[in-house]
Amino acid sequence: MTPAPIAVALDAPNLETAARWASLVTPHVSTVKVGLELYLRYGPDVLATVRGASGVRIFLDLKLHDIPNTVAGAARAVARLKPAILTVHATGGPDMIKAAVESAPQTQIAAVTLLTSLSEADLAAVGIQGPAGDAVRRLAALAVGAGAQALVCSPREVAAVRAEVGPGVTLITPGVRPAGADTQDQARVATPEAAIADGADLLVIGRPITGSPDPGAAAAGIAAALRRTALSRP
């Protein structure tokens, strides 16, 4: 069976737990995601540990955001770890995004538009007025113009972003919750089925899988639901 287009967020308190989650979910999903918690605690070695024997694709979610020269150096430093995907914040601007793209040529640079934890009220409080979708589309176009090959947005905006940037860009959506699941600190959410139907290429899912007593079964269940959705589509 082809692994589902899911990146499981390994937001674990220690390396042993992250490695266990990775080995349980990798038969069912295409990708695992290493974020700030694991990388800051364990450093570059964490990638080899979670990659394990399966050689699963690694999404390194460091959300770089600094001046272009600093981001270029940081992207060069992690490029040798061969992550499939590396994130930067789109709000760092086109020169910063271009610096990351040029410094990690074997890695897909994904620009994070607006964090999925921010509601429209939160966005207004930081000076981003109006519908989130407007700002997300603007940042998406800017990032792709600067060379980003992938974008991170909420599943609520993914259809509008797809219409804006066309078919060649990888759209990655965190803020994914199975129907009825707790949204926790995520604000702009949708179900896995809706995210895929609206054009997402890769769903980031953490706690709905890793918080389950059986993360392997939880990943397999969501993967099966996505396959059923694909089969039922005309």
Ligand X SMILES: O=c1ccn([C@@H]2O[C@H](COP(=O)(O)O)[C@@H](O)[C@H]2O)c(=O)[nH]1
Coil, strand, or helix at residue 215?
A: helix
5 binds ligand X, rule: CB under 6 A: no
Look up 63 and say whether it is catalytic: yes
Q: Is 70 annotated as a binding residue?
A: yes
Q: Is 206 annotated as a binding residue?
A: yes
Q: Is 123 annotated as a binding residue?
A: no
Pick the catalytic residue from 45, 63, 185, 214: 63
207 binds ligand X, rule: CB under 6 A: yes
Q: Which is nearer to ligand X, 105 or 180 (CB)?
A: 180
65 binds ligand X, rule: CB under 6 A: no
Q: Is 202 annotated as a binding residue?
A: no
4 binds ligand X, rule: CB under 6 A: no
Residue nearest to ligand X (CB): 206
Look up 201 and say whether it is catalytic: no
Cα–Cα distances in angstroms (integers) from residue 106 to residues 36, 81, 86, 90, in the given order? 21, 10, 10, 20
**φ, ψ at 120 (rounded to 5°):** -65, -30
157 binds ligand X, rule: CB under 6 A: no
9 binds ligand X, rule: CB under 6 A: yes
Comparing CA positions, the residue from 216, 228, 96, 226 lying closest to residue 173 is 226
3-state helix, strand, coil in the chain (%, to 5): 45, 20, 35
Q: What count of other Cβ atoms lies within 10 Å of the Cβ of residue 59?
A: 28
Selected binder of ligand X within 5, 35, 92, 216 (CB under 6 A): 35
Q: Which is nearer to ligand X, 102 or 131 (CB)?
A: 131
Least distance CB 231 / ligand X (angstroms): 25
192 binds ligand X, rule: CB under 6 A: no
Distance CA 125, CA 69 (A): 30
Cα–Cα distances in angstroms (integers) from residue 89 to residues 26, 103, 152, 169, in the given order? 27, 16, 9, 16
Look up 61 and say whether it is catalytic: yes
206 binds ligand X, rule: CB under 6 A: yes
Instruction: Give 101's Cβ-side CA count (13 Å radius).
Output: 19
Q: What count of other Cβ atoms lies within 10 Å of the Cβ of residue 128?
A: 18
List active site positions: 61, 63, 66
Q: Which residues bind ligand X (CB under 6 A)?
A: 9, 11, 35, 61, 112, 115-116, 152, 174-175, 184, 186, 204-207
Binding residues: 11, 33, 61-70, 116, 177, 186, 206-207
